[in-house]
Structure 1
């Protein structure tokens, strides 16, 4: 059995198809795509709107009051479900700094959700971060990488650990980068006070990602370029950006798009209050206050994650005039590549499909999420969602 999706426009990792079609087998895998006259299939459905791949979020701490570092398995699944219903079809759960035994327990607890396919992997953000650029991470829990601790984390995650953020200037960081890369883990540079030379040295050892560029690092200086200067000029690294209107000014986002147009990756950095109202929370051991959807440390000294999903950031880019293919690359294609996933919506890839109305500012209702501008297509119920 196979299903044929037709739409006036379909975007994949490689093609922008007008009068497009996508053929999907009964296992939910893409088996073909093209424009114009499609092949015959058992079921053919015309979709109103533009079809594109679901987002891949490399950096999210939770939602609906659940923090991945402390949530139960059920709570973590609920948090992941919130992101999925809003167009993020692959989610990496970020575990922020905590006491080492609690971090080990979290990695063990969440690894089963990776095996089940609820999560696309785990991301360890801390404890190997710079106290000078700690953001919401508790200073007393931060320290240099320890080889035994590193192995304990890898063992606890049982293959589910996909990304580790660390500060490359810390003692032992170079060895840690090498060890993690050899273990198949993506090393991200973040929460760092490193010099440009220290950042380049980590990249030489295999670091391939920069965690939420501009945030958790010194600002760009014309004589001391630091992490930002290297990130914007070294083609070996992809750069995360949180496009929520608070972490980065729109002009800064444009700077990244101009300097590194083929390396931008949108992430949410969503914390537990995502999907909730304003109130008091705890993240990475620090008290956080959420007001008007903005998460700040209780003392107001730092932002503490966001309350968005990746597709909220994508909508901001679209509203600002970024072409849809560039948005798809930043939300789906590049982050999928980081995780070693198939190129989205190409032959052999899962048919993780969302539908949007491309007009800026226009919301398209989704299942149970009336304010979301993205509809997630569940191929098992496709006759009910097609028009």
Structure 2
């Protein structure tokens, strides 16, 4: 469905509050207007929503896999398409397939796949997130220590010259392995630079923010903690107004008490936004998978290596929204913004994450109990709950 149509009968989250008695007018894949239902032209086809919640589609900046596919194991156009399709079934309309630390040839293959996905217009594909290999061994997490290494001039040249035409580009780096000058070069080349998997102190983190880093990857996890004498990366990120922070809200990576403290402490205009850090298990029945030759086990909502190290997350974005809404008692509007508006703002995706004229018609229809009814990307219904897939 790409022609003009109107969604009627929904409670629409346009801005900071839900509105009743309004309709969403879509033309050629973009939102043309939110208007009173009495103002819908007679010649426009209506899509009745019957009291559903119409909210912005979710934007996930850290997605390692889904639908039984892990990007590291399938750095191909088909792999990216499968990941995007799997997450559409949980409300994500824009995502960054994320490559975990791996060999240079896997990185190159993922970049080539990203170029192909952008050219093919894969629904939901926003760009690529390269999480490593230029990280800190001290905060490696599940990243293979044998593959972590400093950024060389050859790496920088590849990233700034060859790794283009993949859409939005996000890279997670550690100051231990990347210089401030290299960060400046990456930012000049159009990258969003995020600090993560690093053990540096707050002063060093602040210097890298000054050099152009504007995000931190999965706040609290794999970074120096907030201390009363050394605030660490956590303290520096919460104090830096120009920095936004991804947060995994599965209850395993970060305790809800720490989540609430961080939300209250974060200096603006930067925001804390939700990421899933999802692995291939989302949208699949698989009970484990292999990463860099090591087995990852799926048990009781957790993904771990054999030694118990958390290895990504087994949660989708809609479940993350429910978690912060119910466990942290966040207003629903705020919980939804953490999954849509705030990540879109953090990465500069100005036509994503909001219901407003001129934005992409990426939206969800939810029940009042927050079950997904349908997912729409660019004005097309790409998932419908009654069929668990595309509408008939």
The TM-score with structure 1 as length reference comes to 0.89
In 1, distance between residues paired with 2:227 and 2:356?
Answer: 41
In 2, distance between residues paired with 1:34 and 1:336?
Answer: 24
In 1, distance between residues paired with 2:141 and 2:121?
Answer: 31
> How far has the Cα of 1:340 moved from its partner?
2.6
**2:51 matches 1:61:** no
Residue by residue over 1:117-152, the C-alpha shift from the partner in whole angstroms, topping out at 9 and shown as x without a partner, is: 321000000011000001110111111111211221
> How far has the Cα of 1:288 moved from its partner?
1.6
Q: Which runs of 5+ in 2 are unaligned?
A: none
Deviates more, 1:80-89 or 1:158-167: 158-167
Residue by residue over 1:263-305, the C-alpha shift from the partner in whole angstroms, topping out at 9 and shown as x without a partner, is: 01101100122233353322355432221231011221x2110
Work out which of the residue numbers 247, 250, 255 in structure 2 matches 1:244. 250
Residue equivalent to 1:255: 261
**2:328 matches 1:318:** no
> How far has the Cα of 1:38 moved from its partner?
2.9
1:381–1:242 distance in 2 versus 1, CA, 3 Å: closer
Residue equivalent to 1:29: 30
Contact 1:87/1:374 (8 A) holds in 2: no
1:167–1:13 distance in 2 versus 1, CA, 3 Å: farther
Residue equivalent to 2:366: 356
The TM-score with structure 2 as length reference comes to 0.88
Work out which of the residue numbers 3, 6, 9 in structure 2 matches 1:4. 6
1:45–1:76 distance in 2 versus 1, CA, 3 Å: closer
**2:49 matches 1:50:** no
1:292–1:207 distance in 2 versus 1, CA, 3 Å: same
Residue equivalent to 2:89: 85
Q: Which runs of 5+ in 1 are unaligned?
A: 365-372
**2:264 matches 1:264:** no
- When the two chains are superposed, the root-mean-square deviation of aligned CA atoms in Å is 2.3
In 1, distance between residues paired with 2:287 and 2:48?
Answer: 43
Contact 1:275/1:307 (8 A) holds in 2: no
3-state DSSP of counterpart to 2:9: strand
Residue by residue over 1:202-256, the C-alpha shift from the partner in whole angstroms, topping out at 9 and shown as x without a partner, is: 1101111110000011222111111000111111111100111211111112112
Residue equivalent to 1:183: 189
In 2, distance between residues paired with 1:284 and 1:314?
Answer: 30
Question: What is the aligned length?
Answer: 371
Residue equivalent to 1:96: 100
**2:321 matches 1:346:** no
In 2, distance between residues paired with 1:14 and 1:318?
Answer: 15
In 1, distance between residues paired with 2:132 and 2:31?
Answer: 37
Work out which of the residue numbers 290, 313, 321 in structure 2 matches 1:282. 290
Deviates more, 1:183-192 or 1:341-350: 341-350
**2:180 matches 1:168:** no
1:195–1:284 distance in 2 versus 1, CA, 3 Å: farther
1:115–1:327 distance in 2 versus 1, CA, 3 Å: farther
3-state DSSP of counterpart to 1:271: coil
